[in-house]
Amino acid sequence: MEKILIIGEENLSQLLRKKLDNKGFEIEISDGDDEEDFKEFDVIFDLNFDDDSENFPIYAGLRDKLLFLSSVKQSLSEASYIYPAKVRSRIFGINAIEHYLKLDTIELSAFRKNEWNFAQDFFSKFGLKTMQVEDIVGMYRPRVDFLGWNERIKLLNENIISLEHNCFYKDFQFIDQIGVTSIFEVLMAIYEDTKDTCYLPSPLLKRKYLRNHSFVK
């Protein structure tokens, strides 16, 4: 029986575990605090990788193992540059933001594009589709969605729209569901990577982030 290791916060790990419900696999969950013998596993998901990528050299050395590393705030190429190592494993980036992880289509990037079939074959075992995107900061859906939400927040800050209107209220309820922290940190990561000011978080978003506040009380 093949073994899968999921490293991450409890809510994300359990969400992914439900998606990978297949009797042909044995699944273990770790919060990442304990040392693991990664060689025991055939497939590893590190949902903490965006915030802690120092295991990249270890992952890179796991010959022919399948690795899915959260890579929205940092590309796989950047991680390999920071932590140089010969990559013998099959490494993919995954959009592990909770909102997107709940969807039926898994958004993935690849360290090596000629290995896409390994990721597709794996997820097809669970009836899941994959979206192939470039190995860039922000991936695809967060880049598009968060940019649009940042514009809405700017309009709110400039009093052009109001939460008193139901349609806008619902928009900001949705923004709160995604999470102010996720939106701010991803936008900042994209801005720092591209220096494109359109991704610079609005002052209101930054205030909400720093104070750990939501938009809709």
Domains parsed from the chain with CATH numbers: 2-132 (3.40.50.720), 141-210 (no CATH)
pTM of the model: 0.92
> In a 10 Å sphere around its CB, with 0-12 CB exposed, 13-18 middle and 19+ buried, how is residue 29 labelled?
middle
> What are the two backbone dihedrals, phi and then psi, of residue 53, each rounded to the nearest 5 degrees?
-105, 15
What does the pLDDT look like over 92-135, one tens digit per residue?
Answer: 999 999 999 999 899 999 999 999 999 999 999 999 999 999 99
Answer yes or no: is pLDDT of 1 > 90. no
**Number of neighbours of residue 101 by Cβ within 10 angstroms:** 19
| Angstrom distance (rounded) from CA 4 to CA 25 | 7
Residue 30, token pair as written in the block:
């770790």
